[in-house]
Amino acid sequence: MWDGLSNLFQLSAVWVAALLVASFLAIFWILRGSPSGQATAVEDDEDAPPPGYRDRVIAGVTTGLVLILLGGYLALTLTHGVRWSIPVFGLGIGLVLYLNIANRRYRHASPILRRTSDLASVFLNAALLAGILMVANVAAFRYGGRGIDLTREQTFSLSLLSTNQLESLNRPVTFHIVYGSGPRSARQLDRVVQLLELYRAVRPDMIKIDSLNPYTELARAEDLAKRAPGLAVMRVGGVLIEYGEGTDAEFLVVPAQELFEPLSADASRASTDRFESVFKGEDATTSALIRLRESRKSKVAFTTGHGESSSSDLNPATQGIGIWRARLASVGCEPVELNLNSDAIPDDLALLIIAGPMSPFKPDELAKLKAYADQERPILALVGNTEPTGLDDFFKAFNLVIGRGLVIDPRLNFNRTLQLVFAPLKGNQGHPVTDALQSDRFVLVPNGAPIHILGQGPSAPGKPGTAPVNANLVPIAILRSGPQSWAETDLTNPRPRFDQGIDEPGPVTVGVAVQERAPATAASAGSTAESGPRPRLVLFSSRSLADNVVQGIEPTNLDLVMNAASWLRGRPDAVGITANTHVALTLTADPLLRSRLVLVPTVMAVLGIIAAGTIVYVARRE
């Protein structure tokens, strides 16, 4: 018997029915002025209806209001849905409206029916407003697309790099959120869930989100750890990415240490009223997803032996390019160093990078470069004109010439140093390398040189245009300096001025992408992106464009060279803005303060409502 009663009280329908009965009795009591079974106040007006009729009207109105509440419950439950709530809503609203209209003649004769009509009207208006808000929210969430992110850093939006990866998924992905121990992990959990929900919103058909508490779900955690050994090292939680399904699934662990930067001593104190967290979860998660999708790592080589910027230097205050190399490794590349004087270019090399040489390439090295380029394999070069490199004829084969002088800009520069020019991305010709970047961003170009495209006008002021060396290659200017810049040839003048006829006026081209000309037959046949023009070269005329210290000043530089590398490797899905690092600040309070923060506004709001009602009542009485 007791088991039967226990099972009965576990049914949600029983509790809902009990609440509806209690609501009916409470509303009936409020409208009638006394509980059922007790006499009400006598109405002396001779036009007032008899007490029995009055009670029946109040019971009918109360029934209509309870039906409206029942309709709201049905609309919120998944088992019944909106279609079952509509007739209940209609019956309740129709009953209340009919009784209000039919008994309008008693408004002045019966204070009780007048109170019933007024309260029912208020309830109907509130229900109508709530219904409109609910329908608008449901429509917005279901048909309105993505939410609007008004934060300055676009914190709650995914970068184009992440979106490209998600839209091109061909295998299902499951994100397992692994709970960590400690109060800090609990605070960080919401931010991780929020990020993964953005991932799922892009591809709900391919992405699932699961949660795992290894401290309470021991059997499930042990079973998953057999397939993903990295799960055992996630002491502080994180995200376990499952790429694929069944026995063919691949796993990769993204621990919380990669999602959040280590906290400072002040931020990690338990007694502090501030909780500051530097979140780089999108960067870590998207990079991990790219590594999983790469069936094998793409080998990327940095040339050495000519004073190039060190690719192993990770110090953010130096001229090394270790940060760029680490970024390439994080997206599934295998960065290596290549000395052309002693090493042959590997056959499986996906991209060759020449980053800031300060001494000329030898003839044997140039021969290797030419043979590599003749095989239609891509090259990314960061080469200026401040030091001889011996690459002039090599670039000329791509219809490019690095001109004389350094680009300066008296308006768009860093720290009033004219040679540290900010090149705006807005206004440049559309190209996959720059299209993914926001148009209001700038690239810092230290000691940039003018790049002239053969076959597209004069190579220098006052000189006639030249024909292209290779008509099958099409250079496209992707980065130019500002309109007030120019290429200064007299570098000894501490206060340079533009010399007409000598200096090259701005905007000056400082970045060029070269691709093969699309065959006429392929263009007429409507060729796809995969069979389109092959990328061959990207040249930036600044040897320091990707240095660590320059990236620290302007993060767009890293985005630009990463996009260039992805485009040259034939990976358009990896072109996009690097994921943002967001600094979140959470204020904490002790239990007493939290209770005050809740109670004080609540009490003040109630007192304000009572005061407004009292004022209205007194004014109407007078």
What would the pLDDT profile of 509-518 be if each residue is shown by its tens digit? Answer: 999 999 998 7
Residue 253 has pLDDT above 60, yes or no: yes
Are 140 and 221 contained in the same domain?
no
- Mean pLDDT, range 326-336, rounded to an integer: 87
What would the pLDDT profile of 539-572 be if each residue is shown by its tens digit? Answer: 999 999 999 999 989 989 999 999 999 999 988 7
Q: Would you say residue 327 lies in a domain?
A: no
Residue 524 has pLDDT above 70, yes or no: no
Q: What is the pLDDT, as a whole number, of residue 271?
A: 46
Are 492 and 360 contained in the same domain?
yes
CB proximity list for 510: less than 8 A, separation 6 or greater: 407, 421, 423, 445, 448, 449, 450, 451, 479, 480, 481, 540, 541, 542
CB atoms within 10 A of CB 324: 26
Residue 351 has pLDDT above 70, yes or no: yes
What would the pLDDT profile of 446-462 be if each residue is shown by its tens digit? Answer: 999 999 999 876 555 55
Are 135 and 178 contained in the same domain?
no
Are 258 and 391 contained in the same domain?
no
DSSP code per residue over 204-234: TTTEEEEEE-TTT-HHHHHHHHHH-GGGGG-
Are 448 and 359 contained in the same domain?
yes
Q: Would you say residue 154 lies in a domain?
A: no
Are 230 and 108 contained in the same domain?
no
Pairing of strands 379-382, 349-355: parallel
Are 165 and 137 contained in the same domain?
no
Q: What is the pLDDT, as a whole number, of residue 1?
A: 44
Q: What is the pLDDT, as a whole number, of residue 287?
A: 86
- Mean pLDDT, range 224-234, rounded to an integer: 78
- Mean pLDDT, range 368-372, rounded to an integer: 94
User: Do 368 and 340 meet the contact criterion of CB atoms below 8 Å apart?
Assistant: yes
Q: How confident is the model at residue 349 (pLDDT cuts 50, 70, 90)?
A: very high
Are 276 and 353 contained in the same domain?
no
Q: How confident is the model at residue 270 (pLDDT cuts 50, 70, 90)?
A: very low
Q: Would you say residue 312 lies in a domain?
A: no
Are 441 and 539 contained in the same domain?
yes
Round to whole Å and give the CA distance between 253 and 212: 13
Are 169 and 107 contained in the same domain?
no
What would the pLDDT profile of 281-327 be if each residue is shown by its tens digit? Answer: 888 888 888 888 876 778 999 999 999 989 988 898 888 999 999 88
Q: Phi and psi at residue 486, in whole multiples of 5°?
A: -160, 165
Q: What is the pLDDT, as a whole number, of residue 526?
A: 43
Instruction: State the residue range of the domain holding 259.
Output: 160-285+581-588
What would the pLDDT profile of 596-614 be if each residue is shown by its tens digit? Answer: 777 788 888 888 888 887 8
Q: Would you say residue 340 lies in a domain?
A: no
User: Do 564 and 538 meet the contact criterion of CB atoms below 8 Å apart?
Assistant: yes
Are 255 and 376 contained in the same domain?
no
Higher pLDDT, 164 or 368: 368
Q: How confident is the model at residue 265 (pLDDT cuts 50, 70, 90)?
A: low
CA end-to-end span of the chain: 62
Q: How many domains does the chain have?
A: 4
Q: Could you say which of 89, 115, 145 is where a domain stops?
A: 145
Q: What is the pLDDT, as a whole number, of residue 77?
A: 66
Residue 110 has pLDDT above 70, yes or no: yes
CB atoms within 10 A of CB 150: 8
Round to whole Å and give the CA distance between 135 and 72: 12
The CATH number of residue 547's host domain is 3.40.50
Q: What is the pLDDT, as a whole number, of residue 45?
A: 73
Q: Would you say residue 83 lies in a domain?
A: yes
Q: What is the pLDDT, as a whole number, of residue 529?
A: 41
Among 26-40, 75-89, 129-143, 586-600, name the most confident range. 26-40
Are 82 and 199 contained in the same domain?
no
Residue 382 has pLDDT above 90, yes or no: yes
SS3 46: coil
Q: What is the pLDDT, as a whole number, of residue 537?
A: 96
Q: How confident is the model at residue 14 (pLDDT cuts 50, 70, 90)?
A: confident
What would the pLDDT profile of 489-507 be if each residue is shown by its tens digit? Answer: 887 777 788 887 788 888 9
Q: Is 390 left (phi over 0), alpha (psi -120 to 50) or beta?
A: left
Pairing of strands 417-424, 413-414: antiparallel
Q: Would you say residue 411 lies in a domain?
A: yes
Q: Would you say residue 433 lies in a domain?
A: yes
Q: Enter the tokens of residue 574.
A: 């990896």
Higher pLDDT, 253 or 40: 253
Q: Would you say residue 342 lies in a domain?
A: no
- Mean pLDDT, range 100-110, rounded to an integer: 81
Minimum mean pLDDT among 371-385, 419-433, 524-538: which range? 524-538
Q: What is the pLDDT, as a whole number, of residue 527?
A: 41
Round to whole Å and give the CA distance between 112 and 61: 13
Minimum mean pLDDT among 163-177, 189-203, 229-243, 363-377: which range? 229-243
Residue 393 has pLDDT above 90, yes or no: yes
DSSP code per residue over 104-127: GGGTTT-HHHHHHHHHHHHHHHHH
What is the share, in percent, of the chain residues with pLDDT greater than 70? 82
Q: Could you say which of 145, 178, 194 is where a domain stops?
A: 145
Higher pLDDT, 51 or 514: 514
Higher pLDDT, 264 or 423: 423
Q: Could you say which of 145, 178, 197 is where a domain stops?
A: 145
The CATH number of residue 186's host domain is 3.40.30.10
- Average pLDDT value for the chain: 81
